[in-house]
Amino acid sequence: MPLMNIHSLLRDYAVEWSDAPDFVSRLEASPHRLVVVDENVWKCHAEGCLAGMDRNFVEVFAVSEERKNLAGVEALYDLLIGRSAKRNLALVSIGGGILQDLTGFVASTLYRGIPWVFVPTTLLAQADSCIGSKTSLNYKGFKNLLGTFYPPKAVYLYPAFVLTQKETDYASGLGEVIKLHMMGGPEKTRELARLLPLLKARDLPALGTAIRNSLEIKYAYFAADEFDTGRRNLLNFGHCFGHALEATSAFRIPHGQAVVLGMLLANEVACRRGLLSAAVKERLSRELLRPSLCVRPRHEEWDSQALVEALGKDKKRTGSGLALVMMKDDFDLIKVDDLTPDEVRSALRSLEGDLVERP
């Protein structure tokens, strides 16, 4: 059942929703395919929803943030070339956002482009990264510095995958869901606050609503800015501080949880600049942001000098200052390039007592 049709200047594609794993039969119908499955997903679902797959066309791949780089890409190139891959091969990836980045990059560069299909298995990938056409790789300490724009042929959404996610990984996805609903405005934010207890319990109907809303909101931000030159930049709300915290924690803090912390810090700066009222800041913190945190930074990961240095490596910087996306009282967003190290230190000091893990 089509959930969304995504227009891309490169290639249009559909996001198809299924309450049953019938996507497997669709994938099996392709005679020229290689299915790359996240090792953890395979362990959980090889005898379940993925049982109908022909093992001769499956490669199980160990996924981690440490492999989201050119070395990980080379490992996938070797798998494909070892199978005598041709340009008519369809590369199918079944996993989360890291595998999406790796396989999308590989598909976009091997033979200057081969077809690829994505089956997202994490909440973060289902509600956020599965649309938008971006692939991203880390490079020598720089987060997501390398990448391409390359849409999939299709996206198959099967929400029940998230029922087997680890708690921290599920909470990571919930962080991006919260971000997108806040970007959707006051009404979507209130709706998500009402759904939050059900979402934390992984209620599938509530998840269906939240995933649909998240994808619609994200699409509204990039539909007219596919290549990230304007409005799409605002989707980095929470990511400026968030990526920095991922770096200072050596990725111990998962992406979506770092984004929640990043939104708390961005809101603190916005409040100090007079863009966001204290009342709205506190309500968002109380109703959505703090209740969704399950990973807290350690004292050494909250170090102001290390975080300022990490912010300085942010690829979103276009000026001499630091970049930050902030929310205003009317829920509109603004990107600035004049964030100062003193503002960073002040925000960190203000939230340290409540957020940082005590020794």
Domains and CATH numbers, the chain: 2-164 (3.40.50.1970), 171-355 (1.20.1090.10)
Residue 296: DSSP 8-state = -
The mean pLDDT of 233-247, rounded to a whole number, is 96
Contact 204, 289 (CB under 8 A): no
- Joined together, the tokens standing for residue 29 give 């119908």
Highest-confidence range of 2-11, 224-233, 283-292, by mean pLDDT?
283-292
- Joined together, the tokens standing for residue 336 give 């600035």
Residue 317 is predicted with a pLDDT of 67
Closest by CA position to 65, among listed 247, 238, 216, 209: 247
CA 112 – CA 131 distance, rounded (Å): 21
Q: What is the pLDDT of residues 99-154, one digit of tens each?
A: 999 999 999 999 999 999 999 999 999 999 999 999 999 999 888 999 999 999 99
Cβ neighbours around 309 below 10 Å, total: 15
Going by pLDDT thresholds of 50, 70 and 90, the confidence category of residue 318 is: low
Q: What is the pLDDT of residues 165-190, one digit of tens each?
A: 999 999 999 999 999 999 999 999 99
Residue 83 is predicted with a pLDDT of 84
- At position 98, the amino acid (one-letter code) is I
Between the two ends of the chain, the Cα-to-Cα distance in Å is: 50
At residue 8, the 3 state secondary structure works out as coil
Residue 229 is predicted with a pLDDT of 86
pTM: 0.94
Residue 319 is predicted with a pLDDT of 66
Residue spans of beta strands (DSSP E) within 79-178: 90-95, 116-120, 134-139, 142-149, 154-157
CA 1 – CA 17 distance, rounded (Å): 5
Going by pLDDT thresholds of 50, 70 and 90, the confidence category of residue 299 is: very high
